Amino acid sequence: MNNSITLKEAIDGVLKCQRENGHPESYLIDLERTYGRLLSHAEQLGTECLTDELITQFLADNKSSRSGEYRHERFLAHNRCIRFLESYLETGKVSIKKFHEPVGEAISGGFAEALLLYDQAEEASGLSQASLIKNRRPIRYLLEYMTSLGYQKLSDIKPGDTIKAIGDMLDKHYDPTSLVTAISGMRRFYGMFPEIRQFRLEIPSRMPRKRSIIEVYSEEEQHKIAVLLSSPAISRRDAAICLLSFETGLRSVDICNLRLGDVDWKHSVIHIVQSKTQRPLNLPLRSSYGNAMADYLLEERPHGKEDYFFLSVHAPYVKLNTTWHIVKGAVSAAGVETGGRLTGTRMFRHNAASAMLRKGVPLPAISEELGHKCQDSTMVYLSTDQGTMSSLTLPLPKAGDGE
């Protein structure tokens, strides 16, 4: 990095580059506010340049100033700002590509070599980029934790350390249901190296998961959401995304990966290969979300080289990585409570399945529309149909029965 440039000069350079990249003023204001926190930390440390000590202190500032609880959004925002600065100090410009791997703490050289070998093996396996990123992240956190203990290489790891590292991840980065989807990569990592292979037994085969009745929206909440999605209060892109998920239960990743050529307007069908299962799925192009998608294409979608159906609203116009913020924003704008409950396309997916069930659609048909590998996955939605559940409940015996 170019350490002859002061931190303030580098921040000004980043903001200038991002303005030239076409980012809106609201984004730049948020970025400048975050850099204000970095400058405050620099003042505390008495430094005018970006140093390792400053980066470490800034990244550790990841808790809400009000509640004192960990805030993942703040953690990501601080990581992003450091990435921009490092890019500017190295190249004189800011890379606009998405950074999937958080900066995190440094890991020792021995661990870095092991991680490189793991990366090479995983890339050669043919996994999708999304799976590679998902599987790598907990291993990076694992090695950061081991480094924090003063370890330098894999042979330093002792019995019990792996369990403690997983506990640390659950405290700082994951809830159990999120970590369970990436734990397989950690198991492969341990299997690659004789020094730690014996500790694979410390990696749980499954994380504790809460089993409860699946929550869906009430009829009143569904009505509120439907009213908003048909109103001009929401953009055509967001309306199309929400309607597509709300009515079909399509996953967020498949909406983000949807391409222009996947929509067969002539035969009114959407053809995709699901990212999660790699199974083909054909969805009927119903008039509700079909018209919304057409309106977006004709009146709002920006022109660009990308052939993905839904693009970001600000330059550079690229494919979406998630629809969570779009769905959550729409649900909140509809006046539906989102705090403390499942939000996003997963909730829409549960609701779509429940709606089909209430209409009497057979389970095999629901399973096919949701793209499940087997009908057993669809059975969980029976818990959302209170009428059906009630009919399966045995009546309480009356007093005197059985005497």
Task: Give the tens place of pLDDT for each residue, 323-375.
Answer: 989 999 999 999 998 877 778 888 888 888 777 776 666 666 666 667 665 54
Print burial letters for 51-85: b (CB count within 10 Å at least 16), e (below 16).
eeebbeebbeebeeeeeeeeeeebbebbbbbbbbb
* Confidence band of 75 (pLDDT split at 50, 70, 90): confident
Q: What is the mean pLDDT of residues 4-14?
A: 90
Asked whether residue 75 falls in the same domain as residue 130, the answer is no
Burial 295-324 (b: 16+ CB within 10 A, else e): ebbeeebeeeebebbbbbeeeebbbbeebe
**Pair 304, 263 in one domain:** yes
Q: Retrieve residue 133's tokens.
A: 């990123």
Distance separating alpha carbons of residues 180 and 27, to the nearest angstrom: 34
The two structure tokens encoding residue 353: 């399945």
Output the pLDDT for position 172.
79
pTM for the predicted model, two decimal places: 0.49
Residue 350 near residue 378, CB atoms below 8 Å? no
Same domain for 80 and 22: yes
**Domain span including residue 284:** 219-385
End of a domain among 157, 173, 202?
202
Question: Are 236 and 172 found together in one domain?
Answer: no
Structurally, the chain folds into a number of domains equal to 3
Listed residues 43, 63, 91: the one ending a domain: 91
Q: Are residues 257 and 301 in the same domain?
A: yes
Q: Indicate whether 244 and 358 sit together in one domain.
A: yes
**Which segment, 61-65, 136-140, 227-231, is predicted with the most confidence on average?**
227-231
375 and 281 in a common domain: yes
Q: Which helix (H) or strand (E) holds 88?
A: helix 72-91
Structure tokens at 265: 């307007």
Which pLDDT score is estimated for 386? 47
What digits encode the pLDDT tens for the residues 262-292?
A: 999 999 999 999 887 788 889 999 998 999 9
In angstroms, the CA 344 to CA 329 distance is 9
Q: Does 230 lie in the same domain as 168?
A: no
Q: Does 97 map to a domain?
A: no
What does the pLDDT read at residue 356? 75
Q: What DSSP element (H or E) covers 18?
A: helix 7-20
- In this prediction, residue 363 carries a pLDDT of 63
Do residue 177 and residue 59 come from a single domain?
Answer: no
- The string of pLDDT tens digits covering residues 177-189 is 666 666 778 889 9
Are residues 42 and 77 both part of a single domain? yes
Mean pLDDT, the chain, as a whole number?
81
Looking at the domain assignment, is residue 403 inside a domain?
no
What pLDDT does residue 102 have? 46
Predicted pLDDT of residue 255: 94
- What is the tens place of the pLDDT at every residue in 97-109? 544 444 445 788 8
What are 223-263's pLDDT values in tens digits? 999 999 999 999 999 999 999 999 888 999 999 999 999 99
Contacts of 355 by beta carbon, 8 Å cutoff, 6+ apart? 222
